[in-house]
Amino acid sequence: MESMFTVASLWLGLAVISAIVAQHLKISIALIEICMGLIFANIIEHFYGKGAFGSNLEWLRFLASSGAVLLTFLAGAELDPVAIRKKWKEVSVVGIIGFLAPFLGCAAFARFLLGWDMRASWLTGIALSTTSMAVVYAVMLETGFNKTEFGKGILGACFINDLGTVLALGLIFAPFSLKTVIFVLVSFVTLVLFPNLTSFLTKRYGYKTAAIRAKWVVFVLFALGALALWAGSEAVLPAYLAGMVLAEFATKEEHWVRRLRTLTVGFLTPFYFIRAGSLVSLPALINAPFVFAILLLSKVISKILGLYPVIGIFRDNHKERWYYTLLMSTGLTFGTISALFGYSHGIINQNQYSFLVAAVIASAVVPTLIANYFFFPKHLMQKLPPKMLAEGIDEE
Model confidence over 277-288: pLDDT tens digits? 888 778 878 888
Closest C-alpha among 97, 52, 47 to residue 324: 97
Q: What is the mean pLDDT of the chain?
A: 85
CA distance 267 to 107: 35
Torsion sign over Cα 156, 162, 27, 262: positive
Model confidence at 392, pLDDT cuts 50, 70, 90, reads very low
Residue 225 has pLDDT above 70, yes or no: yes
Residue 385's pLDDT is what?
Answer: 57
- Rounded Cα distance between 228 and 241, Å, is 13
Longest dimension (CA), the chain: 60
How confident is residue 255, by pLDDT bands cut at 50, 70 and 90?
confident
Is 138 a residue whose pLDDT tops 80?
no
- pLDDT beyond 80 at 79: no
Examine the pLDDT at 325 and tell me if it is beyond 90: yes
For residue 95, name the pLDDT band (cuts at 50, 70, 90). very high
pLDDT score recorded for residue 396: 37
Structural domains in the chain (count)? 1
Treating both helix axes as pointing N-terminal to C-terminal, what angle do 58-77 and 333-344 enclose, rounded to 10 degrees? 140
pLDDT of residue 389: 46
82 pLDDT higher than 80: no
CATH of the domain at 354: 1.20.1530.20
pLDDT at 27: 72
Q: What is the mean pLDDT of residues 320-335?
A: 89
Decide: 334 and 239 in contact? Cβ < 8 Å.
no
What is the C-alpha separation between 123 and 31, in angstroms, rounded? 21
Rounded to the nearest angstrom, the gap between the alpha carbon of residue 46 and the centroid of all alpha carbons in its chain is 30
CA gap 297, 318 in Å, rounded? 22
Average pLDDT over every residue of 306-333: 90
CA distance 43 to 162: 34
Mean pLDDT calculated for residue range 324-346 = 87
- Domain containing 223 equals 2-395
| Contact (CB, 8 A) for 88 and 303 | no
The model's pTM: 0.77
Q: Of 14, 59, 61, which Cα lies nearest the Cα of 279? A: 61
Q: Shortest CA distance to 162 belongs to which of 103, 243, 99?
A: 99
